[in-house]
């Protein structure tokens, strides 16, 4: 596909970063367990660029629920089927250019073009 990794960072995310990341879901019952899971270990953050990269990375990630994700997708092949499947689905992928810009600013402090 010709995608390019612009930035890669491995870090531990604190609850304030994760709450800001998932702000659009504030108050929903899954947010607390999701933040706890995300804060429980290291997070690999990537900035990927390329033609139609958002839909391409989302297709590579697979369906949100790993039990329905296609074989060959990240979630279909690598996510654990633990019963907490949607919360512990192994990967997040931005859904729009706007959310991508917001998430890059949160996780990377913005990047110089």
Catalytic residue among 20, 50, 54, 92: 92
Q: DSSP characters for 18-75? A: HHHHTGGGTT-TTHHHHHHHHHTSEEEEEEEESTTHHHHHHHHH--SSTTTSPTTSHH
Q: Please, are residues 102 and 96 in contact by the beta-carbon 8 Å criterion? A: no
Could you confirm whether 25 is annotated as catalytic?
A: no
Q: How far is CA 38 from the centre of its chain?
A: 10
List active site positions.
Answer: 92
């Amino acid at each position: 596909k010709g995608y390019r990794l612009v930035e890669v960072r491995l870090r531990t995310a604190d609850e304030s970063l994760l709450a800001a990341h998932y702000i659009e879901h504030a108050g929903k019952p899954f947010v607390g367990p999701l933040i706890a899971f995300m804060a429980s270990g290291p997070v690999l953050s990537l900035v990927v660029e390329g033609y139609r990269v958002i839909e391409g990375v989302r297709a590579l990630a697979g369906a949100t629920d790993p039990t329905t994700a296609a074989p060959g997708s990240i979630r279909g092949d690598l996510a654990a089927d633990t019963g907490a499947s949607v919360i512990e689905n192994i990967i997040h992928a931005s859904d729009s250019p706007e959310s991508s810009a917001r998430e890059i600013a949160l996780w990377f402090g913005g990047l110089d073009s």
